[in-house]
Amino acid sequence: MNYIFYFLIIISIIVGASNGKLPDVVNAILTGAEKSVKIAFSLIGIMAFWLGIMKIAEKSGLVEKFAKLIKPITKRLFNEIPDGDPAIGDIAMNFSANALGLSNAATPIGLKAMEELQKHNKNKKTASNAMCMFLGMNTASFQLVPATVIAVLAGAGYKNPTEIIAPTLIVTSFTFICAIVLAKVFEKLSPPQEIEEVAENA
């Protein structure tokens, strides 16, 4: 990624110099750097607020209640995981963080959920069906309130940053459903892990 940005900067400088607009390029770089700092600071407030809400929900037991609420869904999607396993709570928290658009907060929770799912993985060398399903759902990232995007748009001076909510909800809902369907399809096509283990031991 660093090489890509380096390449873009060099090309911009060369093109700007060849067109006699090098001062405009330099001014755009400096202005962009200043704006990026302002946007980064604008993210602090909204991220701190939603992360605090998530922590309160965890301490007050709302996450546990949410996990029980979505239990019928998680039971069907993650049928390899036993009832009451910590992985279900972590998956619920990850889903909640993604739904609120807190991708930065969802990442450590997602890693913790993966660690719990790995404990139930019969073949440690490959990802289990539950792990693949969770990865697909997490990557699709269903978002009810894209808080991070709203904060970025607000920091950039956008007049109506909340108008992104409806299109984001539509797109992420579609990708979320597609991720679940594809994971289930490939789960049916892939051989069971028990057979792979027997083959390795043989």
Poorest-pLDDT segment among 11-25, 52-66, 76-90, 167-181: 52-66
Alpha-carbon torsion, ordered 115, 116, 117, 118, to 10 deg: 50
At residue 143, the 3 state secondary structure works out as coil
pLDDT at 191: 64
* pLDDT > 50? residue 159: yes
* pLDDT > 50? residue 121: yes
Which alpha helices (DSSP H) does 61-164 contain, by range?
A: 62-69, 71-77, 86-99, 103-119, 129-140, 147-155
Residue pair 13/25 in contact by the 8 Å Cβ criterion: yes
pLDDT at 192: 59
* pLDDT > 70? residue 104: no
The answer to whether residue 81 sits within a structural domain is yes
Calpha distance 162→149 (Å, rounded):
9
The model's confidence at residue 178, banded by pLDDT at 50, 70 and 90, is: very high
Q: Which residue has the higher pLDDT, 134 or 54?
A: 134
pLDDT at 99: 77
The answer to whether residue 15 sits within a structural domain is no
The answer to whether residue 104 sits within a structural domain is yes
The answer to whether residue 1 sits within a structural domain is no
* pLDDT > 70? residue 198: no
Q: Whole-number mean pLDDT of the chain? A: 78
Residue pair 38/64 in contact by the 8 Å Cβ criterion: no
Q: Which residue has the higher pLDDT, 77 or 47?
A: 77
The total number of structural domains in the chain stands at 1
Residue pair 73/137 in contact by the 8 Å Cβ criterion: no
What DSSP state is assigned to residue 191? P
At residue 100, the 3 state secondary structure works out as coil
pLDDT at 40: 74
Residue 31 tokens read as 């202005």
The answer to whether residue 20 sits within a structural domain is no
Q: What is the per-residue pLDDT across 133-152, written as a single tens digit (0 to 9) for each?
A: 888 888 887 887 777 777 77
The answer to whether residue 35 sits within a structural domain is no
Query: What is the span of the domain harbouring residue 61?
Result: 45-201
The answer to whether residue 5 sits within a structural domain is no
The answer to whether residue 4 sits within a structural domain is no
